[in-house]
Structure 1
Amino acid sequence: MTSLAEPLAAVAAPDEDALVLGDRPLLPTDVVAVARGRRVVLGPAARDRMRLSRTALEKMLSRGDSVYGLNTGVGAIKTTAISADRQAAFQPLLLRAHRVGHGQLAPAEFVRAAMVVRAAGLTVGVAGVRAEVADAYCRALDTDVTPRVHLLGSIGQADLSQLAEIGLALIGHGDDGAALVARGYTPIDLGPREAGAVVNSNAFSVGIACLALERATRAVRALDVAAALSLEGLTGNVDAIHPAVAGVRPHSGAHETIGRLRALLSGGALLTGARPARALQDPLAFKVVPQTHGAARQALAHCAGAVQVELASSGDSPITLIDEDRAISTGNHDIAPVAIALDYARLGLAQAVTIAGERVQKLLDTAFTGLPTGLRADPTTPDDGLAIVANGAASLAGEARLLAQPVTLEQPTSAIAAGIEDRITMAPTAARRLHEMAGLALRLAAVELMCGAQAVDLRGHVGELGDGTRRAHAATRRSVPFVGAGEAPDGDLDTLEDWLAGDDLP
């Protein structure tokens, strides 16, 4: 670690309505809001559930019941008892022992997302920990300091290393703990079982997944906009987005995509038929946008459903069964449903990214557009125009496809914890790659808009654009100028990408 705990860029104002944990299941949108600064507090219903669970677990401890992680070690040390006089020292030692992260530090948003997800999991009321533990996360989130957490270290069987780093800050350990204390935070002293509960969760993976899903959803919408402007630039055949297409093959994602594309083209000469299509059949990258973007939408929806189940659940082991007056070990720390769904989401997004890259190549090729190669303003000059933009687009698409490779097929290991922990899911890698891949998709959409706008301008069709494509063209031209004869592309794609990722998208 090279710096003090990372300050959040913009913390929510104190008078903003806080999210109350425990009154209802947490939603992915809640996680995103807290990650970006919304306040969070522990509700009375959660406190009541946690109090009952803790009381039951303390009775088991006083009776001398053998409960994993309560009065025994964890992992390969599960057969070694923790004596009562060792409990206070054991809790911080467990956190320190699990602090085994590597690589770069995670963005503050990732860490805040993990903290609220872990707190929400505790409010289910089966972990057997005091309400004060969940409350510690809420109080820390209410500061402008975010603990430093390494991106690498978890294999997706509970994000032990990342949650240990957060836990150490919550108990006031090290520079991160000191930074929190300096902001008025009071460290928590952990009791029996509570250090185990701090680390025994996939909250880091799930938190990133919430942020990644939000970014990926925006990316698909951005690719819709880019594809629509490309259709305008190509003078494409809009029969491919006729409502009957989804009617005879009713995949929900295709139906939604066709609705989006038609709305973007609405009022324009292309959709009304006032401007005839150049060809009876367009390249597949233009023709199958409903099918590929639809597949991406359905994959993301499946992933969002799996994440939402996780947010309303407990991944703890052991869990306290109050009615049976005992605690049982579980396998709920295995996050295969979410990890597989994240792999599926990336595979779905890869379809949309791939055809976006191909549309860029086609727009730059005179054989498909009838326009000068490279969308040059003067076809008699040797200038490149936008031709070399194709390289950057291919690079973005290639990087994104590499990130789409499934990670849940990674071979298991039988060596961890004396052979007990013989399975991995790599869920944090799956979530992190979806987040990165969505960023590449947004950038590629900006590149496609630059090319689509150039094609529209060369045809002189700006006044005939649809309602949404007109807005897209104008947004592009605010920061990316037309490339004239003797010029090279020199636009601000960062500004255009920000617009694509924002809330003003048509």
Structure 2
Amino acid sequence: MKIVLTGNDLTVSDVWEIAVNGAQVEISPEAEAKLEAARKLVYELVDADVPVYGFNTGVGWNKDHKIAKEFFEDFNRKLIYCHSFGVEPEASEAEVRAMMAVRLNCLLLGYTGIQPAVARRYAELLNAGLHPVVPEKGSVGEGDLTPLAHIGLVMIGEGEANYKGRRMSSAEAHKLAGLDPVVLGPKDGLAIVSSSAFSAGEAALAIKELRELVDMGDIISCLSLEGFNGNTSPIEAGVMAARKMEGQAKSAERMREYLAGSDIYGTYPGKPVQDPLCFRGAAYINGSLRDALEYAQKYLFIQMNSTDDNPCLLLDERRIISNSNFETTTLATAIEMLSIVLSHVSRMSCYRMLRLVNPELTKLPRFLSHDGGQSHCFGTIQKCFASLDTEIRHLSNPCSVDYLSLSGSIEDHANNTPLVVQHLRQIVKNLQYIYGMELIHACQAIELRKRQGKFNLGKGTAAAYEAFRKELPLYTNDRPLAPDVKKAYEFVKSAALLRSVGEAR
């Protein structure tokens, strides 16, 4: 598969294909022309000796230092050096591919004036499978200068890279891939490091998994509702129309579709008229996640398809001017909103599990034991999902507002977007585990309910139940649960649940 980059239409799905599935990239002819025209203007401005930040002047507090033409290569190389101080952990190869794809796409808009050969090197590295080793920590979010510098380090033949399953020096990797290191010219160093592509690339991968999780959340909630034998009145179309909330209406619509034909719609003497809020409000809270996700995706798309360079080259005006286009506070706070909503989603899932093992509410055996209580069954697994949920709540606390004034107080604002994104990434992973454990509980409850008498599932939930049961059978005796939890997590992470339900629709 090949994805043509234009600078204008890179999507989260495109980033996933490039980063995870190894899709090749190609620069569009129109984008190539923009690169050449922008670079031509850079050289004309060099000859005119116009003072431009990071071009023929220093950067940060050193903005008053003038850089002569004969020192351009040395200055740009040293700019890469001085920003290469990242701290472990290291980004995965998929995340490195994601950030390189985003950075290349934004360069193609022609606002940077980067040397076309340097821009092409991103594509060449991606297509060769030559991945720089990028430490994740060291950026405060006003441009991801630190991690991106490690990509620049590899481009000039220094630092380390992963190539064909081996970690090696950049020089060796270039030689094996048949590439020569690039030689930096005016503005190249700053163009490499001054971007938020690191944050945007990692965010794109997290958002891709989150888009799947929000859909799976509706299915899993339905399975739990059937295991609980709860009420469907909260998801009726008329109730949703009265509220006018788009996200929850979408989730409720999907839940009605999954539950179509289910015996849960039946009534019996003594059935409670309403359920605990973790069941009653499932579509509502998942709807809040849908709303937050739509907002975050809007600004992530803009981030991946616009320039965040300082200075900014305006080709039509034949100028390079200073600005703060590297500001990502809108994206950072959008992602923090996602993290906060996910804390609510996680807590709802945990409470559904706690309610499902309560015989006073379900009329099923305590802890969903198949033998009426002789086995511990799901009595202690609660500690696992409780600890993961606690971590999610901790990670959902905003960190974008916590920063120092740096570089002689010239850089007196930041937003910690990389940390914000990494918090989201861990929250998504924790929720995948929690949803896996909820599937274990819900399917166990459904099986026990079927033993009490005929109980038909909905069309969608039946498909989901059967797909999960192929991975994990009924829990019939105490055994180490860790392998089951890992299998359930992998099932959720693979999005097999969505595929199984999609085939049944």
Equivalent residue, structure 2, for 1:6: none
- Give the 3-state SS of the residue equivalent to 1:464 in structure 2: coil
Tell me: CA distance 1:277–1:303, structure 2 relative to 1, closer, same or farther (3 Å). farther
Q: Which residue of 1 aligns with 2:19?
A: 35
Name the counterpart of 1:291: 284
1:104 aligned onto 2:58? no
Is it true that 1:128 corresponds to 2:113 in the alignment? yes
Confirm or deny: 8 A CA contact 1:222 1:501 kept in the other structure.
no
Can you list the C-alpha shifts for 1:230-270, whole angstroms capped at 9, x where unaligned?
11111000111111121101111111101121122122211
Counterpart position of 2:207:
213
Match of 2:323, SS? coil
CA contact (8 A) 1:157 1:424 kept: yes
Counterpart of 1:11 in structure 2 is none
Residue 115 (1) aligns with residue 93 (2) = no
Q: Identify the residue that residue 10 of structure 1 maps to in structure 2.
A: none
Does the 8 Å contact 1:53/1:125 carry over to 2?
Answer: yes
* Contact persistence 1:269–1:466 (CA under 8 A): yes
Offset, 1:94 = 0.8
Where does residue 200 of structure 1 map in the other structure?
A: 194
The one-letter code of the counterpart of 1:430 is V
Q: CA deviation at 1:407?
A: 1.6
Quick one: distance in 2 between partners of 1:351 and 1:368? 22
Relative to structure 1, the CA distance from residue 377 to residue 195 in structure 2 (aligned partners, 3 Å threshold; closer, same or farther) is: same
For 1:63, the equivalent position in structure 2 comes to 48
2:381 is the counterpart of 1:396: no
Q: 2:351 aligns with which of 339, 354, 358?
A: 358
Contact 2:471 2:487 in 1 (8 A): yes
Any idea what SS the aligned residue of 2:489 has? Answer: helix
CA 1:133–1:276 in structure 2 vs 1: closer, same or farther (change >3 Å)?
farther
Larger displacement relative to structure 2 (372-381 or 142-151): 372-381
- Counterparts of 2:456 and 2:94 in 1: how far apart (Å)? 42
AA matched with 2:484: D
1:241-390 paired onto structure 2 within 5 Å: 241-271=235-265, 273=266, 278-379=271-372, 381=374, 383-390=375-382
Give the Å deviation of 1:441: 0.9
Q: CA deviation at 1:356?
A: 0.3
Q: Give the stretch that moved more between structures: 324-333 or 24-33.
A: 24-33
2:393 paired with 1:409? no
* One-letter code aligned to 2:227: G
The aligned amino acid for 2:125 is A
Moved more, 314-323 or 352-361: 314-323
| Displacement of 1:503 | 4.4
Question: Which amino acid in structure 2 is aligned with residue 398 of structure 1?
Answer: T
Structure 1 residue 493: Cα displacement = 3.0
Cα 1:113–1:380, aligned 2, differ >3 Å: closer, same or farther? closer
Q: Indicate which of 428, 442, 445 corresponds to 1:438.
A: 428
1:378 Cα deviation from its structure 2 partner: 2.6
How far apart are residue 424 of structure 1 and its match? 1.0
How much has 1:300 moved relative to structure 2? 0.9
| 1:464 and 2:456 aligned | yes
- C-alpha distance in structure 1 between counterparts of 2:481 and 2:463, whole Å: 21
Matched, 1:476 2:461: no
**Identical positions, percent:** 30
Supply the distance in 2 between the matched residues of 1:418 and 1:485 (Cα, whole angstroms): 65
Query: What corresponds to 2:233 in structure 1?
Result: 239
Aligned-residue offset at 1:277: 8.5
User: Which of these residues, 62, 65, 79, is aligned with residue 64 of structure 2?
Assistant: 79
Structure 2: gaps spanning 5 or more residues: 162-169
Structure 1 position 380, deviation (Å): 5.3
User: Could you say what secondary structure the match of 1:475 adopts?
Assistant: helix
What corresponds to 1:191 in structure 2?
Answer: 185
- Alpha carbons of 1:127 and 1:489: their partners in 2 closer, same or farther (altered >3 Å)? closer
**C-alpha displacement at 1:474, in angstroms?**
1.9
Pairwise CA distance, 1:482: 1.6
Counterparts of 1:208 and 1:127 in 2: how far apart (Å)?
Answer: 22
Q: Is the 8 A contact 1:343 1:406 kept in 2?
A: yes
Hey, what's the Cα distance between the residues in 1 that align with 2:411 and 2:231?
55
Aligned to 2:31: 46
1: CA distance between counterparts of 2:111 and 2:479? Answer: 65
C-alpha deviation, 1:215, in angstroms:
1.2
**Which consecutive unaligned segments of at least 5 residues does structure 1 have?**
1-15
Q: How many angstroms does 1:498 deviate by?
A: 2.6
* Alpha carbons 1:105, 1:148 under 8 Å: kept: yes
Runs of 4 or more consecutive aligned structure 1 residues displaced over 4 Å after TM superposition = 274-277, 485-491
Taking the aligned partners of 2:329 and 2:7, their CA distance within structure 1 comes to: 27
Count of aligned positions: 486
SS of residue matched to 1:493: helix
Which residue of structure 2 aligns with residue 156 of structure 1? 141
CA positional deviation for 1:225: 2.0
Q: Distance in 2 between matches of 1:205 and 1:266?
A: 41
Distance in 2 (alpha carbons) for counterparts of 1:278 and 1:392: 31
**Other structure's SS at 1:40 match:** strand
Q: 1:463 to 1:20 in 2, by over 3 A?
A: same
Give the whole-Å Cα distance in 2 for the aligned partners of 1:367 and 1:159. Answer: 53
Q: Which moved more, 1:484-493 or 1:450-459?
A: 484-493
Give how far 1:385 is off: 1.6
Moved more, 177-186 or 157-166: 177-186
Letter in 1 for 2:398: P
Describe the shift of the 1:90–1:275 C-alpha distance in structure 2 as closer, same or farther (beyond 3 A).
farther
> Which residue is 1:428 aligned to?
418
Contact 1:442 1:497 in 2 (8 A): yes
Amino acid corresponding to residue 442 of structure 1 in structure 2? Q
**What is the CA RMSD across the aligned residues, in angstroms?**
1.8
SS of match in other structure, 2:89: strand
Give 1:449's aligned residue.
439
Instruction: Give the superposition deviation at 1:292.
Output: 0.2
Residue of structure 2 in register with 1:12 after alignment: none
Q: Which segment is superposed worse, 480-489 or 290-299?
A: 480-489
- TM-score normalized by structure 2? 0.92
Q: TM-score, normalised by structure 1?
A: 0.92
Per the alignment, residue 229 of structure 1 pairs with: 223
Matched residue SS, 1:425: coil
Among 400, 409, 414, the residue aligned to 1:419: 409
What is the CA-CA distance between 1:368 and the residue it aligns to?
Answer: 1.6
Relative to structure 1, is the Cα distance of residues 233 and 175 closer, same or farther in structure 2, using a 3 angstrom cutoff? closer
Give the secondary-structure state (helix, strand or coil) at the position aligned to 1:142: helix
For structure 1, which segment, 491-500 or 311-320, has the greater mean C-alpha deviation from structure 2 after superposition?
A: 491-500
State how 1:478-493 maps to structure 2 within 5 Å.
478-484=470-476, 489=481, 492-493=484-485
Output one character per residue of 1:291-321: Cα deviation in whole Å (capped at 9) or x when no partner.
Answer: 1000011101100000011112100011122
Secondary structure at the aligned position of 1:172 is classed as coil
- Whether contact under 8 Å (1:226, 1:446) holds in the other structure is no
Taking a change above 3 Å as real, the CA distance of residues 480 and 185 of structure 1, as seen in their structure-2 partners, is same
Give the aligned partner of residue 13 of structure 1.
none
The answer as to whether partners of 2:436 and 2:491 remain within 8 angstroms in 1 is no
Query: What corresponds to 1:8 in structure 2?
Result: none
TM-fit CA distance, 1:426: 0.5
Question: What is the CA distance between 1:489 and its match in structure 2?
Answer: 4.7
Distance in 2, matches of 1:275 and 1:264, equals 22
Residue 165 of structure 2 corresponds to which residue in structure 1?
A: none
Alignment partners' CA distance in 2, 1:23 and 1:318? 18
1:494 corresponds to 2:478: no
